[in-house]
Structure 1
């Protein structure tokens, strides 16, 4: 299982268990309160201050940070879309930052991500 697949599965599980903070405001609050287990940030964010803020909060509180390439993809993984009858994502909204506050349940994907963070 690749890191990207593991990340997608962990985000989906956290979403089901109401353990996701989506968007800069929610993420900054969760990071500042030390409620976060990990943060996901988009590399291509237009506002450099967003990146600086999230990276600084993660560094200050020793929270793992992983970066992804596409905001639309992150938005889809975080549940910011509609699912049609065929199971395809429609009306996907881009998302700049997502924080996992609760993994939900222990899974192979979670272990893959934790191992990835240990080796970095």
Structure 2
């Protein structure tokens, strides 16, 4: 039986389960509107047109993501927006708009 190496599971002695890089504070050019939308979710949820506003966002540019930290940031932003979209109305959404679902899926594949 082969010995288990903690590094194979993304664990280090210095940082434990935390990444060895600092988290990205924002998304790079091309996705800044999505990043700002994610920051504004609490305000946006107070309006009755949250779902409409999601569909008005520009296309998310997965190819513009640079490095693991930004991929993690994109997953966080898209997940927050996705969950907010789901529960932003009295009746939960049964589908997601393509504009949100596709990049969320693609970024999820990058995360692993």
| TM-score, shorter chain, exceeding 0.5 | no
Under a length normalisation based on structure 1, what TM-score does the superposition of the two structures give? 0.27
Q: For the pair shown, which has the larger CA radius of gyration, 1 or 2? A: 2
Between Structure 1 and Structure 2, which shows a larger proportion of strand residues?
1
Between Structure 1 and Structure 2, which shows a larger proportion of helix residues?
2
Under a length normalisation based on structure 2, what TM-score does the superposition of the two structures give? 0.28
The higher-RCO structure (CA 8 Å, 6+ apart) is 1
